[in-house]
Structure 1
């Protein structure tokens, strides 16, 4: 992990093993001292070593000289009328990322970003229009959870508690594999945030080799951004499909299911009017899900999460109507496919799925290209 310019190491982002090694090899301290510091950081949200009162004065001095606990800076935080909460967190060089907390019936889900922007160019995603700058460090990934947990810990009576984390914010998590795996380890560690494996979910557009790598490293829930039931349509919506087509992706999901303790795979499907919401699409999707469940020898091995498209300025896509969404769901349910419709949350603060944009100094110049298309469309309309 890169150290800041002053040479101090940010202890956020070092998992338990790495922190133990750091204390032993770099500080000449007992390994259990790392456990004490983790409790102060992740359980009590203390960032000042002087406040870690069960550490000796000499150790606190070493830590203050050589280390820091530095979560991302909050540029602004914005609550929604429905209880959703979005943070804009400052990165370097004018970049910023967005993190969203969604409370719902006894659970609280945090949507965490893995990259500044995204390089995959999925056609219906607002983040894709921002282009890509860089991967987040492990400290920047887990720092989002730290910021949210610290905020929620100050809520009276803890009426909004962080119970779930989804790597479903800005970026493709599997393209930032090592840092994301390290951060997820801290999410699950009892000395970190103590979340069960089924309560930590990684969402991917379908990088097949990295799904296999994830199965060997992290026993977490998997969500796959499918969005189409056939290769022709999916390649148009998710260009990555040209490299990893649906059959290859489903085989990887089957391997993941068989090699982890996870009971099922969630397939995300964003419904767009006239694009992928027709009865024939539902029939194709149902057949695909049934085939997967037969191969897994488990009728509940696949779950479909239908997501109403969340419009953003300049997009050519439209949200499917409520009648079309419910009819699509009914076709899947009638075919025996477990299917849920995700409620749209945080619309008033642009915090809904697919809307996260942040602030990206785009190395791919995709923002400029998107603006030119947008302005061209406006000129044509005029």
Structure 2
């Protein structure tokens, strides 16, 4: 009697422990050349040339398959596919507001999710608010994102992937020179960028490279709550525009709103800002100031803000508070915000009031939270209703300059 064994079910187990392929899209030019040589895909003398070739395919044309790199030898394409990947992360959920604001929940790895928001008609034409960490350690009391514990820093590849996902969705490959819809990048999403400076700096190098995504460093803004020792390194390494999440003019109140202030107080923060490389009237620092009813919105606070910023080339973004479940704060009235702005304007400071957008999909400033450690409400809804993974919400409301 002969016995045959069905091994089809065992096949996945055989590949379950296959080594994870490195994603080339998060490597700097130098790192890309080194990786190609280390994997024995190209000889050292050809590495720089081949890296330049791959760079344009990845970051100018946005390809995700080595087979589409038509000017690369077939044998080399095969070797690349054996060692590396260009795959995008999984989009768990996509939401769209009536005004065109888009939010993606992106799964970088099991249990590692971040939210990324595109806001049209902001900056030159449209801004992408990217995350630098999963969760946050700062616990700013007015910020929904701060209620999610830090999971880990994002890699440069995971930061760049957020830009790639947005450009896929906006159909912006190859990189347009004119009429691009995504013109600005702001590190104002989940996390504190200066606690992940190495990966943020590498990502900015990749995003700003003129032969790839080609978004100018002057259109890339990094927002920080005030990690003072990293301010100068940020300016020296990235030449990015600086934004400060300020929200108060005295230490007592800022200690409450932005607990990091207990470590780096306002005096230390302002000294660090004044020493930021390259600030000038043509490279102003943006100060973000969330408007909280009866907390920081009085005329006296506005006058104190004018005094605090004296001598700093600055712009002040007044942000109407965006409510979220469980928050103890309310948004200042529109008349209060306008009166506050008038005092700043009379002192010579541009102080635009951000029009809230994306509130309906929790995409506005301070509302991002991935809840990757729990089963999300949206996933429960999908299971209950048998709905597809992509969800479009038809409603409205910025989160950038």
Pair in the same fold by TM > 0.5: yes
Aligned to 2:142: 124
Q: Quick one: distance in 1 between partners of 2:231 and 2:212?
A: 24
Q: Quick one: distance in 2 between partners of 1:88 and 1:212?
A: 32
Q: CA deviation at 1:192?
A: 2.5
Does the CA-based 8 Å contact 2:235-2:278 persist in structure 1? no
List aligned pairs for 1:40-79, cutoff 5 A: 40-79=57-96
Q: Quick one: distance in 1 between partners of 2:279 and 2:117?
A: 31
Q: CA deviation at 1:260?
A: 8.8
SS in 2 for 1:338: coil
Verify: 1:314 aligned to 2:331, yes or no. no
Aligned to 2:287: 267
Does the CA-based 8 Å contact 1:223-1:267 persist in structure 2? yes
1:282-321 C-alpha deviation (Å, 9 max, x unpaired):
111011112x33xxxxxxx111111000000000000111
Equivalent of residue 228 in structure 2, options 191, 199, 208: 208
SS in 2 for 1:22: helix
Gaps of 5+ in 2: 1-16, 375-401
Higher helix proportion (structure 1 or 2): 1
Does the CA-based 8 Å contact 1:19-1:34 persist in structure 2? yes
Q: CA deviation at 1:17?
A: 1.7
Q: Quick one: distance in 2 between partners of 1:231 and 1:124?
A: 16
Aligned to 2:53: 36
SS in 2 for 1:286: helix
Verify: 1:287 aligned to 2:307, yes or no. yes
SS in 1 for 2:151: strand
Moved more, 31-40 or 194-203: 31-40
Q: Quick one: distance in 2 between partners of 1:71 and 1:285?
A: 43
Aligned to 2:380: none
Verify: 1:219 aligned to 2:239, yes or no. yes
SS in 1 for 2:352: strand
Q: Quick one: distance in 1 between partners of 2:342 and 2:297?
A: 12
Q: Quick one: distance in 2 between partners of 1:189 and 1:154?
A: 16
Does the CA-based 8 Å contact 2:172-2:180 persist in structure 1? no
Aligned to 1:376: none
Does the CA-based 8 Å contact 1:152-1:160 persist in structure 2? no
TM-score, reference length from structure 2: 0.83
Aligned to 1:353: 365
SS in 2 for 1:277: coil
List aligned pairs for 1:290-309, cutoff 5 A: 290=310, 292-293=311-312, 301-309=313-321
Q: CA deviation at 1:259?
A: 7.2
User: Which one has a bigger Cα radius of gyration?
Assistant: 2
Does the CA-based 8 Å contact 1:103-1:160 persist in structure 2? no
Q: Quick one: distance in 1 between partners of 2:278 and 2:110?
A: 43
Q: CA deviation at 1:361?
A: 2.7
Does the CA-based 8 Å contact 2:232-2:277 persist in structure 1? no
Q: Which stretches of structure 1, 4 residues or longer, exceed 6 Å deviation after superposition?
A: 157-160, 259-262
